[in-house]
Every structure is written in C-alpha cells, then in structure tokens.
Amino acid sequence: MAKIDSEILTKETTIFNHSGNKITTVDREIEIIAKFDEPLVIVLGSVLDDGECDALIQLSKDRLERSKTGSSREVNDIRTSSGVFLTDTNNEIVLQIEKRLASIIDIPIDHGEGLHIINYLPGQEYKAHFDYFASTSKAASNNRIATFVLYLNDVEEGGQTYFPNLNLSVFPKKGMAVYFEYFYNDVQLNELTLHGGAPVTQGEKWIATQWIRRQKISNNI
C-alpha cells in the first residue's frame, strides 16, 4: 500500500485533466476508451462523427503534397505519406473541430497549429519520431507539448500508431483519436512518447493531427 501511495504522490501534473470515462466538450460528449498513465496516452472515442471525417478527407484530397518533416520542412524517408495543413481555410467544420479539441484540454485554440491531414497509401508510413522539436531548433522556443491524432477512416490492415518504448499500439478507427503529451519536467517521460505510424498494408489511412504548442502561435514560429 505504502508503495502505491508514494507512486501517486510523485506523479507529474498533466495538461489533460479528466477523471471518469466521459468528457463533455463545447459541442459533443467524448469517451475515454483507454489510458496509459505516464507518459499520458489516451484513446478517445467519438471525437468526430462520420460526416466530419468525410468532410476533412474531401477538403484535403485534391490538395495533398508529399509530406515534409521537422522545422526545416524537408522531404525525407521518415514520412512517406502525403499531407496538407488546413490552416488557410475558414471552414466551419474545421473550426468546430479545433474548438472541440481545445476544449478537451482547456487550452486556447490558438495554441494549435491547425489540422494537418495525412493520407497513407499501402506501404506508406511515418517512422518513429518525437513530435517536439530538438532544443537546438528555432521552433523549440515555442515547442509542441501535446498531440491529437484523429482517425478519419477505418484501415483494412496496418497503419497503427505505435509507441515502441511503451509497447503500445493504437489501431485506427474512424472518429476515434489518440492523444498524448510530452510536457513533463522529467525528460525521460517525454522521450517515452517516441511514436510512429506503421506501414499501411491494405487499404488506405487518413488522419488529422493537431499539434499543440506551449504558447499561442504567432506568425514567426
């Protein structure tokens, strides 16, 4: 018993702060399906309805470009998918989803980079990486602190989001999401959030990612 008590006492504070199995957001009730405690990884159900998933795919499908990574935004083998940022759109659905995600973690909407849609075809993947920028990078002055990955379709086979240091995989399911944070004082906890998108082996995979920054985003990030 004593050991368990001391473990609870030493747990670091998280941004996501819900107990129970439901979150009431501005416009929708969201289910907490699974939780890994430290670092915090949460699987969320019914984040988006089917129509919203379809709308995000429709908005993006003619605008995809080969994905780039890092603050230098170079094309490389780490991410072989195609993607587009839906930041330039005044679309009501996009805005409503961004507000919903902001309300889950109670962080103002302008800390979010904007929905980034990614499409993976068979064989395409996103190799294991950290979402936060290296401390030497310019972008680290307002670094990322948390990520939502929203699944926009059901994938026939493959495409799971995997956390190799946690032995954890989340399988894509339309409308569901995985959320994780890496804003711990303990650097080792942040490093445990190493993750990737496994190769899609059958069908295709569509996701929307929302990366959250520590401070509000200005134009010169």
List, in order, residues 6 or more apart from 57 with CB less than 8 Å away.
117, 152, 153, 206
Residue type, 201: T
Minimum Å distance from CB 181 to Fe ion? 12
Site for ligand AKG in 21-50 (CB under 6 A): none
Beta bridge partners of 146: 181, 212
Is 209 a residue that touches ligand AKG (CB under 6 A)? yes
Candidates 40-48, 70-78, 111-119, 128-136 — which segment interacts with Fe ion by CB under 5 A? 128-136
Is 113 a residue that touches Fe ion (CB under 5 A)? no
Taking the least distance from each CB to Fe ion, the nearer of 125 and 131 is 131
Site for ligand AKG in 142-161 (CB under 6 A): 147, 149, 161
Minimum Å distance from CB 8 to ligand AKG? 30
Residue 197, contacted partner among ligand AKG, Fe ion, none, CB below 5-8 A by kind: ligand AKG
Is 131 a residue that touches Fe ion (CB under 5 A)? yes
In the set 52, 113, 131, 181, which binds ligand AKG (CB under 6 A)?
131
Is 100 a residue that touches ligand AKG (CB under 6 A)? no
Cα 167 from Cα 193, distance rounded (Å)? 11
What is the chain's length? Answer: 221
3-state SS class at 12: coil
Q: Side-chain half-sphere of 111: how many Cα atoms within 13 Å?
A: 19
Residue 161, contacted partner among Fe ion, ligand AKG, none, CB below 5-8 A by kind: ligand AKG
Can you give the three-state secondary structure of 91-149, one letter per residue? Answer: CHHHHHHHHHHHHHHCCCHHHECCCEEEEECCCCCEEEECCCCCCCCHHHHHCEEEEEE
Contacts with Fe ion by CB under 5 A lie at 131
Residue numbers at the binding site for ligand AKG (CB under 6 A): 126, 131, 147, 149, 161, 195, 197, 207, 209
